[in-house]
Structure 1
């Protein structure tokens, strides 16, 4: 059995993030990390591998040279191999183009199961897993809080506000997992050393047979028309109680802000 875990290299949310002149995220001007939500996808793929026989986990990413660090982290966690789709022509690709490229890569890898995070922490759209399922013609089961594989069937539990659903699909399938699916493991020293010897393939659009004219910023179906820096945080209001009026002032503040 072969599992593809989708991983994405994103700007670190704890740092300053800005937009480039073309309206895309400035990835060169910020430190990058593996998207936190994708760590749950890797973890679930590794758990399926640990509970099965002869299961290979392949980490797949799409992005510039720095995106190789996302693959590196996945390999350190325990993935067996990596595939990095790297091509300057994909810059500015929207979700539709991203799903087209990833679907082509998945088709070339030939997995039985694709596991993704519920969304990327930079775009937070959460639509790519469903798009991949449609392009591949596979069942798509999303937002899994629990995942298991039994023979040729993948089973998930999806937790809602008032109820949980149990859903099954026949492999091959695409699954997205939430941050409730289980804490992601930290790379061990053994895993870090072993990752250096694991294979990583690098593919271009030509390798995948994807037309460059249909992807990239020029082909994007959406366009950023304007950006503005986030306004600075305002200082909080201090409520004093020197004359016993503090409780009243605090209540008025909460009512005015519609907190009560």
Structure 2
């Protein structure tokens, strides 16, 4: 079985054509990117507002409760409701995207809200003391400090949507889910297993790229990186030394002689 899967994956016929593996990967990524983009437009501003104001926290709990909804059952329900009202290929695309958006809103919303709420209140007070107001505090203080959790929420959303976008094939769309649906229907378990493997590898690849982006975007001081720790250590030492008694080092060591 493993040898057959390897042969299927390395065959040029598997990758070529309008229904080949390259075309299915592009379709799969298109569905995933579209769903995450729409969900981000909804969830990021909402998470910033809830985290900044502390109001309507129940929205985060409500969104998280949507994780318990069966994705395939919701897809069929939305398709039966919206499908007859829409013509053409959109009758299949819109229900799938709606379901995927519902799936990925919770991790994005939770990440943004948790990141903003975790910002030290003293940092906000200092920003307001410098004359910042409203959206200035959000843009210049809360978003930069919340960036690790915001990007973690986006990474979680991408992992979930890439793994779940296979359900789009159940209502006639393309993507890597075609190998699972068609393979099971025809008894071609080699392509079924191969398609599932490609979905897993694609999710890991995208997560790895986003992890690299997160490492480049987020300040080392927020991630506890080596440079961030060293800078904090230097600042703490400077503060401690400035408050230590004259002639005494901050680490409690011996007396520092003033003699030259």
Same fold (TM over 0.5): no
Higher helix share: 2
**Pair member with larger Rg:** 2
**Which protein has greater RCO, CA pairs closer than 8 Å, 6+ apart?**
1
TM range (shorter): under 0.3
